[in-house]
Amino acid sequence: LSKDVADAMTKRAADGEVVEAPQLAAQPEPAKDVPVPQAPEEPAPPPEGSLAHVILYGSPNDVKIKAQEWAELCTKDLYNALLVVLDLILALSGLPGAVTEKDLEVEPHHLVIKLPDWVKDQNLDPTIYPLLPSIPKSRRSVANLEKFIAFGIAEQSGAALLDTHMIASLTAWLLVLPSAAIRSVRHVSTVVALSVAEALGHHFQSLSRTHETLARQLASHRELGTLIQRQEQVLKRDVVSSSNHAKEMNRARNQLLETIIPLRSRDVSEVIRVYTLGQLDRLMKMDPEMYMQNKWTARVFLMLHDPHVEVRLKALSVMTQWYALDKKKSAAVKEQLAKFGRSALPHLLERVADVDPRVAASAVRCLKQHTLTEMLKEEEFDNVANMVIGSRDVVVREEAALFINAHVFQDPGICAKEKPKTRRGDKDGGRGDVEDDTLPAADPVRDLHNSETAISMLVEYIENYMDGKLRIIERLVGAFWPRSPALSHWSTIMNLCLVGEGTRVGMEPITSKQRLYLLYILEAAVRRAEDEARNARPSEKDETATRMNEACMQIIPEMPRLMDICRPEEEQFLLLMHVCKILVEYAVQSSQSQVLVNSKVLCQGLRKAIEDVSPMETMKNSADSLLALAKCFEEAKNTFLDLSKQVHLACSKILEDPKVKDRMEELRSVMSRFLVLANRGIDTSFGSMALIQRMLRLLRDRVTFMQEKRKRATAEEVKDEQTTPASATPRTPATPRTPATPRRDEDGQPRKRRRQETPQAPDVRLTLQLLEAVVLSVMWHVRTSYWVQSQSTSEEGLRAAESQVSELLQGFSELDALRAELPRMMSEVRSCCCELVDSDMSPYVQFHAYSAYMTLVQLCVGVSETLSLEVDEKGRPAPPSGWGATYEVKIPKSHMEVIYRYLNHLFVKVTEADVEGITFNGEGHRVEPTSIYPAPSQNMMTSVRHLTLRTMQTPGTGPEVSGLVKPLSASDELLLAVLASRSILESELQDIYTGPLGLLLLTQCEKARPKPLREVAMSLLRRLREHSKMSEEYGEHFYAMQQEAIEGLFRCAGPEAALSLSLAFTKLWGIKASPWLERPLYVVLREAILSCVTPDRSRLPLLDAYVPWIKTNDFVRESRCKEIADELVRQVTAIGCDENNAHIGRMLRKLQHL
């Protein structure tokens, strides 16, 4: 078998695919165009009726019969009996017929030496054999082989085995075969050798008992004097003989163990290592004296550091069984294991942090054993317990929860007891002290008491271990969830939350902290139950639905009462509102509205939650709950509409006030409610253009203020540069003066600052709110107008649509006026966004304005078939000018320049920032929690939304002046750069993704750029490549954009960066070009190469960047390359340059020797 084929089959077998070597020797050479048959998935079965066939496919009874036949053969013909075993070993190794009678006449190592050559001559593949774990039913085959050896040796007496030299002959071969170079031979012979050792152990124990019995008889008769001399001599001879037989049997067994186990536990094959470890465990259980010898326990200990996962798992499993409750172990064995455990404990703690979560979970399970837990120091114990929240893997957290349940909580813990497994021990992490086989009958009173105790213990654990880590209590709840039914006893949790708040006398209320812990538990449990109900398998839907229905029935009726209790506490109220949102939405969607009793009281509570000064997350959850109720109850619908009108009027009243700048804090509070309602389900502006204009006026005040601030900062920098001595070191852009450094007098004392007046413009928080409110209102107006326009196909549909819109506007505006003013308003909002991007000094405001602008442009493209949202030079709606009488979306040149500068600024910031070690991907952006924020959600919080909300809700007055607004970290700056780039990538407007912005993004493909940013840029290049399939014009544009990006980078960063970017581009092209791209590449490449030849010769180094573009004839034909080379020579000659120039020479050699 060739090496390539053997390597391929080995890889397929390692991947779990079952293959068999083709019998090449028996096949003629295949003719041309005749496919070679594929290797079968399993090895060819041995002849039916043979011993190997019985081992592979027979029942235990069949195996026992064959073993008896072999035992009988041993007594008659030792030579043939030995040959049968050796032939069986090699047949199960995939090498049938490898041993003959002649091989028994020489030393065993001769066969081991000749096997590789024999396999090569027979064209066999020994990598696929019947006992390979990836082969179906291989475990049964291994068990049958072990039974055959055990039955066959057990059928014979120990003395006969020794007297016939069967043990000596068999041992001689089994000491050599496990060292063979062929893995299958090592594996099968190891199975046989350790099975023989186990069988010899049973014979040794039998012979030892016989010797002890004879010795006691001899001693007893001597005391009684009942033996005659001849009988005493016979008995003495039997005692000596039995002693010698036992010693010889033990010597043969120990010889096998001491030779096989150390070598095979270090075998290159993990399959052999795992099997050896398992057999060692069985042997130690059979002979407890092996526990007293460090050479065997240390062998298991060394396997903890094995490079293969399965071996480490097996080692941990063996050690777990050592320290499990076992009455059969003697006191001496337990003491020896405890002594060994002290030295192994640091290594077990290392495995808790294993890279494989299964190994880490197994290590925690091992440390859960009482003997090892008592050895842990307090810090080590806490580290293991903290894995319940510190690990990222669910299996590790669940095992750590069982550790806590066993050693932190009082008996019986909070996990339900499970029936102990009758076979293979307790592998599911249940408590090892369960002795009864039947679970107790259900008792409601006892269950209630147990659930209250369980929740109380969990609260106590949180108080002692997680007081500063409440935001990740969901991990704790998730770890206990599968095994702790108390977490879904909703009535118990609600009763504990309301302890002391009722009319019952004598009950002290729980503390505020305890109620907070309970609400954290309740919120995490409800969220987990809802997630399971939404994603349940068909067989689990009824169970999960019942659990959620019970939650609705037990929690929602008590919600108004809990609202009154939790309202003063911000964290408690936020958690409670999230629970309310989840349950109400589920109840409405699942037709469980019958549980929503007293809707009027609940609606009043939700309205009050929105009207109070609360975090935006609390108001959002309350609004979602109210909207869900509105689907079932008219009361909720009227409440939501009245609340929206109240917020609109309050906002209008403040904005109409001439002294609005003195009421900024009041306006910020109202704008929070405005945004929540507008984001959840209604146009809070009610179509009022005047309201939007007043918001825009405040935003322009912000623009003016920031422009003046920039001018003052620039003037101060110029003044500082003029007063700087000539000898002073000039300040570079990379080291700007820190504005926070106070100026000092000549004596070194800080100057007294003038009292700064409050700026007469919105701060960063209110600016973000106003900007979002304006964009949301305009989007609502566009949606309304588009919907009415889409219904204009019939007069009846148009009248119905206009009637519904008029009802939604509530008399605050008219539909006709709204539609007439919409294009002008869209233009003003986009202009205001650009002004904020260009002038504002807050990165939060800049990105929010940029994102708003790109969103509005995308919206304009989406409705361009029906609505015109552009204005002409006179401010009137632009007429249709696009293909098919559609309305063309345009970006003014001034806007494009502003966005280009901002995007370039983001890329420069990422370049200067230290982005090493910053990792974020599609799974999420990790942030440090502050108290309860980011607030718990149902996977609906995005990274950029978290940054925006964090800034909007910054406490205090004048956050920009006081420095309360957190500056962007390097990770946040990279995040904004990636998100801004994605808005270019995903835009549907060609002027954006194929214009200057797309060109700027393509420069980020260079390998020195941060990986997340580079991936977005490469995605844009792939998108352009897909477009190039449409026509040659698109193909030319595909290459032209790459050319412009390379030249732009050449002008800014030099030839090396341009070459790196070019290599990144060509890497994406692949190794074979598409036929339709050959001519576009030629056109662009010709122009690019010739444009490098200029009279000043400054662009000649750029030729090196285009050398990688010339790959093979598939990309540019040889004839076209010669044309480019001839034209290049003519131009070079025209400017008087030498063709031997390094850059020109490289290009010509590439063109002429393609």
For 219-273, give the secondary structure using H, E and C: HHHHHHCCCCHHHHHHHHHHHHHHHHHHHHHHHHHHHHHHHHHHHHCCCCCHHHH
Tens-digit pLDDT profile for residues 887-916: 889 999 999 999 999 999 999 888 755 555
User: From CA 1052, how far away is CA 1136, in angstroms rounded?
Assistant: 27
Q: Is 1121 helix (H, G, I), strand (E, B) or coil?
A: helix
Sequential DSSP letters for 356-398: SHHHHHHHHHHHTSHHHHTT--HHHHHHHHTHHHH-SSHHHHH
Residue type, 1143: H
| Torsion region of 1141: left, alpha or beta (phi above 0 gives left; psi -120 to 50 gives alpha) | beta
Structure tokens, 1011: 């990986």
| pLDDT of 718 | 66
**What would you report as the CA-atom Rg of the chain, rounded to the nearest whole angstrom?**
41
| pLDDT of 726 | 46
The one-character DSSP state at 920 is -
- Over residues 960-966, the mean pLDDT reads 69
Confidence of residue 1149 (pLDDT cuts 50, 70, 90): confident
Burial of 228 (C-beta count, 10 Å sphere; 0-12/13-18/19+): exposed
Task: Give the lowest-confidence range in 97-106, 668-677, 930-939, 1022-1031.
Answer: 930-939
Q: Which residue has the higher pLDDT, 29 or 301?
A: 301
Which residue pairs from 345-353 have beta carbons closer than 8 angstroms and sit at least 24 positions apart in sequence? Answer: 345/372, 345/375, 345/376, 345/380, 347/301, 347/304, 347/305, 348/304, 348/316, 348/319, 348/372, 349/380, 349/383, 349/384, 351/304, 351/312, 351/316, 352/383, 352/384, 352/387
- Over residues 866-877, the mean pLDDT reads 82
Residue in the block written with tokens 């030299």: 165
Tens-digit pLDDT profile for residues 365-383: 999 999 999 999 999 999 9
Tens-digit pLDDT profile for residues 1037-1084: 999 999 999 999 999 889 999 999 999 999 888 877 777 888 888 899
Structure tokens, 741: 């450094």
Structure tokens, 646: 């109240």
| pLDDT of 8 | 39
Kindly report the average pLDDT of the chain as a whole number.
83
Tens-digit pLDDT profile for residues 392-432: 899 999 999 999 999 999 888 888 876 555 444 444 444 44
User: From CA 486, how far away is CA 547, in angstroms rounded?
Assistant: 12
Confidence of residue 1117 (pLDDT cuts 50, 70, 90): confident
Residue type, 151: F
- Over residues 107-130, the mean pLDDT reads 89
Q: Among 44, 52, 252, 260, which Cα is nearest to 145's?
A: 52
**Cα separations (Å) of 607 from 298, 560, 604, 641, 671?**
68, 11, 5, 11, 16
Q: How many residues does the chain have?
A: 1154
Tens-digit pLDDT profile for residues 793-852: 778 777 787 777 777 777 787 887 888 889 999 999 999 999 999 999 999 999 999 999
The one-character DSSP state at 29 is P
Sequential DSSP letters for 940-1002: ---HHHHHHHHHHT--SS-HHHHT-SPPPPHHHHHHHHHHHHHHHHT---HHHHSSHHHHHHH
Structure tokens, 851: 């994102």
| pLDDT of 745 | 45
User: From CA 264, how far away is CA 178, in angstroms rounded?
Assistant: 8
**Residue 469: is its pLDDT beyond 90?**
no
Tens-digit pLDDT profile for residues 41-62: 566 788 888 899 999 999 999 9
Confidence of residue 633 (pLDDT cuts 50, 70, 90): confident
**Residue 1107: is its pLDDT beyond 60?**
yes
- Over residues 293-315, the mean pLDDT reads 92
Q: Is 336 helix (H, G, I), strand (E, B) or coil?
A: helix
Q: Which residues contact 260 (CB under 8 A, 6 or more apart)?
A: 174, 175, 178, 190, 193, 194, 197, 276
| pLDDT of 523 | 94
The one-character DSSP state at 303 is G
**Residue 355: is its pLDDT beyond 60?**
yes
User: From CA 933, how far away is CA 571, in angstroms rounded?
Assistant: 9
Structure tokens, 933: 């924020």
Confidence of residue 106 (pLDDT cuts 50, 70, 90): confident
| pLDDT of 370 | 92
Structure tokens, 832: 């205001």
> Could you tell me if 529 and 547 are in contact, meaning their C-beta atoms sit under 8 angstroms apart?
yes
- Over residues 525-529, the mean pLDDT reads 94
pTM: 0.81
| pLDDT of 754 | 44
Q: Among 676, 690, 618, which Cα is nearest to 643's?
A: 676
Structure tokens, 1121: 């390359």
HEC assignment per residue over 81-132:
HHHHHHHHHHHHCCCCCCCCHHHHHCCHHHHHHHHHHHHHHHCCCCCCCCCC
User: From CA 909, how far away is CA 319, in angstroms rounded?
Assistant: 54
Q: Among 521-530, 758-767, 952-961, which range has the highest average pLDDT? A: 521-530
Q: Among 467, 469, 466, 523, which Cα is nearest to 494's?
A: 523
Tens-digit pLDDT profile for residues 715-749: 877 666 556 554 443 333 333 333 334 444 444 45
The one-character DSSP state at 503 is S
CB atoms closer than 10 angstroms to residue 355? 7
793 φ/ψ angles, rounded to the nearest 5 degrees: -70, -25
| pLDDT of 1142 | 87
| pLDDT of 25 | 32
Q: Which residue has the higher pLDDT, 284 or 967?
A: 284
Structure tokens, 39: 């290797």
Q: Among 410, 412, 389, which Cα is nearest to 401's?
A: 389
Task: Give the whole-number percent of the chain exceeding pLDDT 70.
Answer: 86
User: From CA 285, how far away is CA 322, in angstroms rounded?
Assistant: 9
Residue in the block written with tokens 């399971």: 532
